[in-house]
Amino acid sequence: MTNGNSVRVVAAGDHFILPSLIREAIGHELSCDVVELTLGWPLEPFGPVAEVTEASDAEDELIDALAGAQVLVTQMGPVTERVLDACRDLRLVVVCRGGPVNVNLDAAKRHDVRVCYAPGRNAAATAEFTVGLMLAALRRIPQAHNLLAGEGSWQGATYYTYEHSGLELEDLPVGLVGYGAVGSRVARALCAFGAQVMVHDPYVRGEIHGLRVSSLDELLRRSRVITLHARLTAETRGLIGARQLALLPRGAVVVNAARGPLLDEEALCDALESGRVSAAALDTYQQEPVPEGSRLFGFRDRLVMTPHLGGASRAVAEKAARIAAAEVGRWVRGEPLAHALT
């Protein structure tokens, strides 16, 4: 057990997970010295820093703040080999996100630094956002908004024609590819709407909300809407490509708020062009930001696009801070860590 009063914590937050949120959450766990540092994200983009990915370019600032500190709580702080070499007192890093991609795990292990993360922090927010995307695509809400608010054009009559009217969720066959923390919440929400929910996830056992379908191909053949919720791995990269999209009923809708590389965007554009897919809604992309000249921008009448906002809720920031603070409390008290990788 460590004496909390002797522990120095650096709360390296940003403009989303505020350092003050981290400090306040830690204050509910123990009394200790907390130093606040504000990194630039999302007002400044993240990217690769030395050997880590998706981090703020702030090695020098982090090294200065960590002088004499045993604990770092951060979302975007670059925990590189250089940082670990310079911060010999550091013993615990808690990353306020679903995976510590901003941490050199091998170097942390060599330096005897424990690394934790915050799984599930954005599951509810992403699930709600996914359902919102689905409704927007099915009922063409953004397109109607743009016509009325952007152009002052009252074209409700067009959307009331049978050909251009949307689909409703009640009784609609919706296939979920993946049934983790987000997918399971989406399934529950869709069941409440009265949708015919089907699920394909070979790694999930036990009861699910909806009908379990063992074959991905069969799920695609039976779904008027598919929504992706699989983790991105070597196995799932490009999981939905031209062959899979061709299995969908003509006029199907595709939703992806999980990871961009799960879906072959060129194949999606081909399917939108041919009418095999009538509409799609995307929050994640193969390349972010979406490059200028992307074919996706050519389908604005049938494609809902948002810039990776699924986890952008105040509750996510607050939950992440609480999860991280709980890990700090466990470490100080000498208890087993709940979400440790090293």
**What parts of the chain have a pLDDT lower than 70?**
1-5
> How many secondary structure helices (H) and strands (E) does the chain include?
13, 14
Residues 6+ positions from 188 with CB-CB distance below 8 Å: 209
Of 234, 160, 239, give the one whose Cα is nearest residue 200. Answer: 239
User: Where exactly are the structural domains of the chain?
Assistant: 4-121+313-333, 123-305
Catalytic (active site) residue 170: no
Catalytic residue chosen out of the listed positions 222, 259, 276, 339? 259
Distance CA 311, CA 190 (A): 19
**For the structural domain made of 4-121+313-333, what CATH number should be given?**
3.40.50.720
Q: Environment class of residue 61 by beta-carbon count within 10 Å: exposed (0-12), middle (13-18) or buried (19+)? A: middle
Quote the pLDDT of residue 4.
58
Quote the pLDDT of residue 315.
98
Distance CA 219, CA 199 (A): 7
Catalytic residue chosen out of the listed positions 24, 212, 308, 318? 308
Quote the pLDDT of residue 201.
97
Q: Do domains 4-121+313-333 and 123-305 have the same CATH topology?
A: yes
Catalytic (active site) residue 308: yes
CA angle (319, 228, 301) in 5-degree steps:
105
316-339 pLDDT per residue, tens = 999 999 999 999 999 999 999 999
Of 118, 128, 126, give the one whose Cα is nearest residue 258. Answer: 126
Q: What single-letter DSSP state applies at residue 202? A: T
Which CATH number among 3.30.1340.30, 2.40.30.10, 3.40.50.10440, 3.40.50.720 corresponds to the domain 123-305? 3.40.50.720
The number of beta carbons lying within 10 Å of the beta carbon of residue 198 is 22
pTM for this predicted structure: 0.92
Quote the pLDDT of residue 13.
98
Quote the pLDDT of residue 151.
86
Catalytic (active site) residue 339: no
Catalytic residue chosen out of the listed positions 145, 288, 295, 333? 288
